[in-house]
Amino acid sequence: MFGRTKTTLPSPDEALRGRETRAFDVPERHVVLDAPVITDVVPDGMEVAVFGLGCFWGAEEIYWQVPGVWSTSVGYAGGITPNPSYDEVCSGRTGHTEAVRIVFDPTVVSFADLVKRFFEIHDPTQGMRQGNDVGTQYRSAIYYTTPEQEQTARELTKVYGDELARRQLGAITTEIRPAAETPYYYAEDQHQQYLAKNPMGYRCHANTGVRFPATA
């Protein structure tokens, strides 16, 4: 690992080995919503969205308040190490980003609306950080679960990117990948719905201050 920094993604050879199964418990029920936390079985008619947008505590809090969202959880996505812990992810040696998994009713809220909110509540130009939070685990990411989600994510990224360019605010660095390419791993109990349990807890909402263009 000599010469690596927390803002450089590890290669498979550099990544921590991880483990075959989760090393900790995840709570059964959501603290805020009337839903389970582990949503590997998705109800008929629901869809899944997975976003990385900095510290997952604040991201989850925002999304559980969106009408049409059935359940949220926080976890680790886009990495190499199987079944990582929070400390391992924060070491920069697993390749994961902190993520929020959202199960939603598309007849109430569209994936496009979730993506627009995604861009407005963080700064997608900052690369391997959000505000004062620095490291690969804070990178911006969209992990799409359907071809339609990919198309929407890429189209809306271009729209928002063009708006930021017009304002000379930098290029979008958001990683867009299929969710099936790498597993989503649920985070530890203490991180799930953290801000419902700790209302005065840390929130990082670095953002550009730019609303998504109304014409999109």
DSSP H helices, 28-146, are 56-64, 86-90, 111-120
Q: Are 193 and 32 in contact (CB under 8 A)?
A: yes
Smallest CA-to-CA distance from 175 within 117, 147, 136 is with 136
Name the DSSP letter for residue 189: G
Residue type, 121: I
Smallest CA-to-CA distance from 127 within 142, 140, 143 is with 140
Active site residue 204: no
| Catalytic, out of 55, 99, 156, 179 | 55
DSSP H helices, the chain, are 56-64, 86-90, 111-120, 147-166, 194-197
Q: Are 185 and 83 in contact (CB under 8 A)?
A: yes
Angle value at C-alpha 58, between 54 and 51, nearest 5 degrees: 50
| Integer-rounded Cα radius of gyration of the chain | 16
On the 0-12 / 13-18 / 19+ scale of CB atoms within 10 A, 184 is buried
Positions marked active-site: 55
